[in-house]
Structure 1
Amino acid sequence: MKIQPLFGLAVILAGFFASQAALADEMPSSDPICAVINEARANMRKGSGYRELIYQPMKGGRTREYREYVILPDKIYWRFSGRTEWKTSDPPGVWRFTKCTVIKDKDGFHYLANWHGEESLASAEVWLTPDRKKFVKTIRRFRRGELVFPFSVVTSIFDYEAEKAKPPAGME
């Protein structure tokens, strides 16, 4: 039958396009501003680990700690704030930033961008360390229907102190 050779070609083409899509996620943006942000994100994953605190917005502009993450190269530990029980998961997928703009302000390296997660999109504000190698803070604003948390505005604070970026006691 003539269908079998076409099926083989379709499989080869599907594999090629899937590999190209995977490479596109790993390739830095051609936008030099986004390249700085995406490189800072990649640097975070290359290090020995970091801690991320997720904050929920409250009335009056205040925030409340919602979740704590300890992110290591091969595993994530997380817990809801105020609880002692830690859970584990695999490292996060690739985040990517597009449409990046520099914001001039007193807080240092501050950017506006579109944040692309594994299955969601958010507008984001990103603050980088003075050497522009890692994140200090992000604020992500998710669209309805694409929420990652039970609230649409997510503030993350990042901490690279070795003592705080290690597995919780008893989970080493």
Structure 2
Amino acid sequence: MMRLPGYVIAISLAIIVCVSAARADEKPRPDPTCSEVNKAYSQSNRPAQYSITTYQVKDDGSLKPYQALRVVDDNYYTKYSLSDTWLLHGKPYFSIMDRMGPKFTSCKLLGKKGKLLHYSATWHKFPYTAATELWVAKDNRRLMKMLRRYPDSLWELPFAVALEIYDYNATNVGASAPSAGERPRPDPSCLDVNNAYRQRNRPPHYSTMTYQVKDDGSLKPFYAFRVVKDNSYTKYSFSDKWLAHGQPYFSIMDRMGPKFTSCKLMGEDSSVLGKLLHYSATWHSFPYTAAAELWVTQHNHRLMKLVRHYPDTGWEFPFPVAVDLYDYNPAQTLPAAPEPTTLVSTP
């Protein structure tokens, strides 16, 4: 059998990667039907001070307060209705696009009533979608109210219908910032877990497969994620279509606080890759939390496996236990770089 020189194999791989990336469609763009809705929602149309109150819409139509968000100059603050404590965050930013696609699609003007324009749209925030209605002021095109109806299969909040009320009256918002504690910071017990999870410890090419962990311990594929240089691709197990996205970014902090808290080294496990450090932690991705276990390679501190056990009160997926398996082998990841057929928002 003829053996190819190593450099020939390397060149061939590089060609496959470049061609596959070149075949990818352009990065996601805003839906042209949503230009007016995007103007109302975008950060540039928001004043220095305003507030948003999120309510649960109950079956009888009554409203139950859930969360308050207040913007004062260059900071924003949040407080849940069941708490008296305001949480301080950084500079607010509400984008009409994220790395998974546009915030709004399929927008339509339903009518005009008094000083408000009434729109319908589909709202997206991966992995959630919601049938949405928006009311926008005619004069300054500011968003006044947004109603989201989530499908039965996946809720972002602990209820199916949410209403956001916007208030731009500086007197109502308050000229001074609410009393708040320090800005959220990483949990010092999670230093090693954060180093394994953060973006800078990830190579330019890798893949992640998310599985449902069934009651008998068997795995059922749910979601595939691949990174090829500056682009990421996703595909659900029930679909043959890959979606192309922008540059991936995984942060140890988000606007609600740290990704991991209460980390603890449980021990060491052996594997074909060498020793794996086994950690426990609490994983956070608002509004979800999960009891997590992580396995990290000892020699290069890369995350290899992440198991999440969700509480009965809130699942991120249609099942309570999920495992992410990471593969950093270019031979497995690169030649199969996907060819996305659509760049519309997430399914």
CA separation in 2, counterparts of 1:66 and 1:130? 28
Q: 1:136–1:158: 8 Å Cα contact kept in structure 2?
A: yes
Shift of residue 167, structure 1, vs aligned partner? 3.3
Q: Which has the larger strand fraction?
A: 2
Q: Deviations over 1:62-117 (max 9, x none)?
A: 11111111246865421111521122456466452111121225352001111112
Q: Which has the higher contact order (CA 8 A, sep 6+)?
A: 1
CA spacing shift, 1:37–1:73, aligned 2, 3 Å: farther
Match of 2:31 in 1: 29
CA separation in 1, counterparts of 2:127 and 2:72? 22
Shift of residue 149, structure 1, vs aligned partner? 0.6
Q: 2:113 aligned to 106, 121, 127, which one?
A: 106
1:139 aligns with 2:147: yes
Deviates more, 1:39-48 or 1:155-164: 39-48
CA spacing shift, 1:89–1:120, aligned 2, 3 Å: farther
Deviates more, 1:89-98 or 1:7-16: 7-16
Give the letter aligned to residue 8 of structure 2.
Answer: K
The alignment partner of 2:169 has SS state of: coil
Q: 1:161 aligned to 164, 169, 178, which one?
A: 169
CA spacing shift, 1:73–1:40, aligned 2, 3 Å: farther
Q: 2:54–2:163: 8 Å Cα contact kept in structure 1?
A: yes
1:48 aligns with 2:48: yes
CA spacing shift, 1:76–1:117, aligned 2, 3 Å: farther
Deviates more, 1:153-162 or 1:77-86: 77-86
Q: Where do 5+ consecutive residues of structure 2 fail to align?
A: 1-6, 97-102, 183-347
CA separation in 2, counterparts of 1:12 and 1:168? 53
Deviates more, 1:111-120 or 1:157-166: 157-166
CA separation in 1, counterparts of 2:23 and 2:139? 38
Give the letter aligned to residue 113 of structure 1.
Answer: A
Q: Deviations over 1:22-70 (max 9, x none)?
A: xx3xx44222xx1100111114665324211011122422111111112
1:4 aligns with 2:10: yes
CA spacing shift, 1:14–1:130, aligned 2, 3 Å: same
Shift of residue 123, structure 1, vs aligned partner? 0.4
Q: 1:55–1:65: 8 Å Cα contact kept in structure 2?
A: yes
The alignment partner of 2:60 has SS state of: helix
CA separation in 1, counterparts of 2:126 and 2:95? 7
Q: Which has the larger helix fraction?
A: 1
Match of 1:97 in 2: 104
Name the larger-Rg structure.
2
Shift of residue 161, structure 1, vs aligned partner? 2.3
Shift of residue 162, structure 1, vs aligned partner? 2.9
CA spacing shift, 1:14–1:103, aligned 2, 3 Å: same
* Alignment TM-score, normalising by the size of structure 2: 0.41
CA separation in 2, counterparts of 1:6 and 1:88? 51
Q: Count residues with an aligned counterpart.
A: 165
1:148 aligns with 2:156: yes
Shift of residue 150, structure 1, vs aligned partner? 0.2
- RMSD across aligned positions (CA): 3.3
CA spacing shift, 1:170–1:80, aligned 2, 3 Å: closer
CA separation in 2, counterparts of 1:59 and 1:156? 17
CA separation in 2, counterparts of 1:75 and 1:17? 38
Q: 1:124 aligned to 117, 132, 141, which one?
A: 132
* Alignment TM-score, normalising by the size of structure 1: 0.76
Give the letter aligned to residue 64 of structure 1.
Answer: K
